[in-house]
């Protein structure tokens, strides 16, 4: 009954819009089976968490009131008075963190499997942009409860932008909506977080997913060199998608556990006339940059230490984004390829700085 | 060299396109640029009584929209410094145990006169003049 109704609708649409290209796009993709196949699931996990972000974010919007005198109070209202408000906020905060985590995992797995290589250069670039926006989402959303930690994180984060030569001060002024971090900054961050970023994110995400669907899954070198009869695949739809859904359920269970047992603290309200509390730290995904800035002396070469640090991270980020276009060729005799070495060094640096940031 | 009709039109349309783009972006950027503050500039602030201020302690004072840290040393001398760290804009604090000023965001250390001692701060904290008139603490901007 249901199937016949489904096919009737499908036929009705097909007759008018010719669904064969869409059908082909969905069914043509197959997923290679090998020892590294598990990494294929990371992007889907990040996508699932993004969907949760959109749903819980929209729900929070119904009660949240931006403004120096209302933001903190409205978040407190959400978590103390609104039924299950605490749960929605906890899920939103935790899924944001998990999303960034899975995006990082996805990026490094793509890197080490060398899936960024021709013809998937733009999939890599759009993916990197999505990571950048995801971190921007984290940064802008962090301020919205207008608590002490958020206030200083935003002060530091926007001041960093001001360090950029020539245009930095102007961008900082526009981001803050004035000289200092005030209610004007909160309004701007709110607009950026709920309107500007979702719009840009959705467009780039659409492109990213289209590229993946169009080009199919990347096959690692070891797999693609196998004789055809030894290559094993499963269809993307529905087999892989169902496996994806299973992982989504596991992540959902983990998310529920974290949201229930590790509530996201609100902390004290922001006060521009109180000193930054000792031990203040940014979100874990900014910790490696934070820790590096801590170690830099006040002057490096001919410039301020902070300017050096910020230029370093920006240039490094740009190079990382353009990696598919950089001609570091594989060396046939080498056990570990140069790009893999670079990736390992980057990963070690990021993990070491993050751990140091946590323990010091 | 004669300019072809097509080339001429291309240039004309291109110029028009740039003109339109500028006409769109200028109001957008102007809109995004915050208005300059209309608040009156504060030059002097009274910060309570000197006798009521315990030695080896500090307080953050509102100097207009700016935070200023007022410190009374163990010997009873006052100093007032801009409380915004010269590194990345956090608000500093006075540490009673080390008798130094700390910025907790990136571990920047200044001495009691505002001189940057260690950590990332590139410049000293700007100093203010402090006078005690009839037991009342008066903080004033130093005109350079």
Is A310 inside a domain boundary?
no
- Best probe of the A interface among B63, B94, B120, by most A CBs < 10 A, is B120
Among B62, B88, B119, beta carbon nearest to A159: B88
pLDDT value of position A195? 96
| pLDDT (0 to 100) of residue B45 | 93
Q: Which residues contact A17 (CB under 8 A, 6 or more apart)?
A: none
Question: B52 and B28, same structural domain?
Answer: no
Q: Which two tokens stand for residue B57?
A: 């302690």
> Is residue B100 located within the same domain as residue B126?
yes
Same domain, yes or no, for B83 and B60? yes
Q: Per the CB < 8 Å rule, is B89 touching A156?
A: yes
Q: Note the ipTM here.
A: 0.83
CATH number of the domain to which B63 belongs = 2.102.10.10
- Residues B89, B111, single domain; the answer is yes
**Which residues of chain B does A176 touch, with a Cβ-Cβ cutoff of 8 Å?**
34
Provide the mean pLDDT of chain B: 92
Does any domain span residue A273?
Answer: yes
- Among the partner residues B37, B60, B88, nearest to A275 by beta-carbon distance: B60
B73-118 residue pLDDT tens: 999 999 999 999 998 899 999 999 999 999 998 889 999 999 999 8
B51 & B98 share domain: yes
CA-wise closest residue to A134 among A246, A48, A3, A46:
A46
Q: Is residue A199 in a domain?
A: yes
Long-range contacts of A246-250 (CB under 8 A, 24+ apart): A247/A41, A247/A44, A247/A45, A248/A44, A248/A45, A248/A48
Residue B48 lies in a domain: yes
Q: DSSP string of chain B? A: -PPPHHHHHHHHHHHHHHHHHHHHHHHHHHHHSPPPP-SPPP-EEEEEESTTS-SSEEEEEEETTEEEEEEE-TTS-EEEEE-B-TTTSPBPEEETTTTEEEETTTTEEE-TT--EEESS--SPPPEEEEEEETTEEEEEPPP-
Domain match, B8 and B63 both: no
Q: What does the block give as tokens for B91?
A: 């608000």
Q: Taking CB atoms and an 8 Å limit, are B120 and A298 in contact across chains?
A: yes
Residue B2 counted as domain residue: yes
Average pLDDT for A269-281? 90
| Domain shared by B28 and B63, yes or no | no
- The reply to whether residue A177 touches residue B34, judged by beta carbons under 8 angstroms, is yes
Separation between Cα atoms, residue A321 and residue A318, nearest integer Å: 5
**Of A33, A214, A39, nearest to A119 (Cα)?**
A214
Please judge whether A174 and B32 are an interchain contact, meaning their C-beta atoms are less than 8 angstroms apart. yes
Name the residue range of residue A167's domain.
31-278
- Please compute the mean of the pLDDT values over residues A231-236 and round it to a whole number: 92
- Whether residue B38 lies inside any domain: the answer is no
Which among B90, B91, B120 has the least Cβ separation from residue A305?
Answer: B120
pLDDT, tens digit (0-9, with 9 covering 90-100), for A204-219: 999 999 999 999 999 9
B120–A160: do the CB atoms touch at under 8 Å?
no
Which CATH number characterizes residue A237's domain? Answer: 1.20.810.10
| pLDDT value for A304 | 80
Query: What rounded mean pLDDT belongs to chain A?
Result: 93
Length, in residues, of chain B: 144
| Mean local confidence (pLDDT), B58-73 | 93
Please report whether residue A102 resides in a domain.
yes
Kindly report the CA angle at A142 between A77 and A291, in degrees rounded to 5? 140
Q: Tokens standing for B134?
A: 């009839």
Residue B39 within any structural domain of the chain: no
pLDDT beyond 70 at A2: no
Average pLDDT of span A209-234: 91
Which residues of A fall within a CB distance of 8 Å from B121?
298
Q: How would you classify the pairing of strands B116-118 and B100-103?
A: unpaired
pLDDT of residue B142: 84
Buried b (16+ CB within 10 A) or exposed e, B49-78: ebeebeeeebbbbebeebbbbbbbeeeeeb
Residue A268 domain flag: yes
H/E segment holding residue A54 = helix A42-61
Question: Any residues with CB less than 8 A from the CB of B123 and at least 6 apart, and which?
Answer: B86, B116
Assess if residue A76 is contained within a domain: yes
Instruction: Tell me: do B22 and B55 sit in the same domain.
Output: no
- Residues B21, B85: one domain? no
Query: What residue numbers bound the domain in which B23 lies?
Result: 1-33
Residue B144 has pLDDT above 70, yes or no: no
pLDDT by residue (tens digit) across A74-127? 999 999 999 999 999 999 999 999 999 999 999 999 999 999 999 999 999 999
- Residue A90 located in a structural domain: yes
Q: Mind listing the pLDDT tens digit for each residue in A184-202?
A: 999 999 999 999 999 999 9
How many structural domains are present in chain A? 1
What pLDDT does A206 receive?
97
Query: How many domains, in total, are found in chain B?
Result: 2
């Amino acid at each position: 009954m249901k199937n016949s109704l489904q096919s009737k609708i499908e036929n009705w649409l097909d007759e008018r819009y010719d669904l064969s290209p869409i059908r082909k796009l969905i069914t043509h993709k197959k997923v290679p089976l090998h020892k590294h196949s598990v990494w294929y699931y990371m992007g889907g996990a990040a996508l699932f968490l993004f969907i949760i972000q959109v749903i819980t974010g929209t729900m929070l919007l119904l009660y949240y009131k931006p403004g120096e005198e209302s933001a903190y109070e409205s978040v407190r209202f959400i978590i103390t008075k609104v039924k299950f408000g605490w749960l929605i906020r906890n899920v939103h905060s935790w899924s944001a963190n998990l999303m960034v985590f899975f995006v990082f995992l996805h990026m490094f797995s793509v890197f080490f499997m060398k899936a960024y290589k021709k013809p998937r250069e733009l999939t890599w670039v759009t993916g990197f942009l999505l990571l950048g926006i995801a971190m921007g989402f984290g940064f802008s959303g962090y301020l919205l409860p207008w608590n002490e930690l958020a206030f200083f994180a935003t002060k530091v984060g926007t001041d960093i932008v001001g360090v950029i030569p020539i245009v930095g001060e102007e961008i900082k002024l526009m981001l803050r909506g004035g000289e200092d971090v005030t209610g004007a900054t909160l309004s701007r961050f709110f607009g950026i977080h709920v309107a500007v970023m979702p719009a840009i994110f959705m467009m780039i995400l659409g492109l990213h997913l289209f590229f993946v669907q169009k080009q199919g899954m990347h096959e690692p070198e070891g797999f693609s060199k196998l004789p055809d009869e030894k290559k094993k695949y499963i269809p993307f739809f529905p087999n892989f998608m169902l496996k994806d859904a299973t992982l989504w359920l596991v992540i959902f269970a983990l998310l529920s556990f974290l949201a229930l047992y590790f509530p996201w603290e609100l902390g004290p309200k922001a006060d521009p006339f109180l000193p930054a509390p000792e031990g203040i730290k940014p979100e874990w995904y900014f910790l490696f940059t934070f820790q590096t800035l801590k170690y830099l002396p006040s002057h490096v070469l001919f410039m301020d230490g902070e300017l050096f640090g910020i230029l370093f991270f920006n240039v490094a980020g740009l190079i990382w984004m353009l990696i598919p276009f950089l001609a570091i060729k594989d060396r046939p005799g080498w056990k570990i390829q140069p790009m893999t070495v670079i990736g390992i060094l980057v990963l070690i640096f990021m993990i070491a700085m993050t751990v140091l940031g946590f323990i010091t | 060299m004669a300019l072809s009709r097509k080339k001429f039109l291309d240039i004309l349309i291109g110029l028009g396109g740039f003109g339109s783009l500028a006409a769109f972006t200028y109001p957008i950027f102007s809109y995004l640029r915050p208005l300059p503050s209309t608040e009156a500039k504060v030059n002097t602030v009274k910060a309570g009584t000197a006798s009521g201020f315990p030695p080896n302690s500090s307080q953050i004072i509102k100097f207009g929209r700016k935070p200023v840290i007022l410190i009374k040393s163990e010997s009873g001398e006052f100093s007032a410094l801009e409380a915004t760290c010269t590194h990345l804009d956090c608000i500093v604090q006075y540490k009673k145990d080390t008798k130094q000023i700390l910025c907790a965001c990136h571990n920047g250390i200044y001495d009691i006169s505002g001189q940057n001692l260690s950590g990332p701060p590139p410049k000293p904290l700007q100093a203010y003049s402090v006078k005690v008139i009839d037991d009342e603490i008066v903080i004033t901007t130093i005109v350079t």
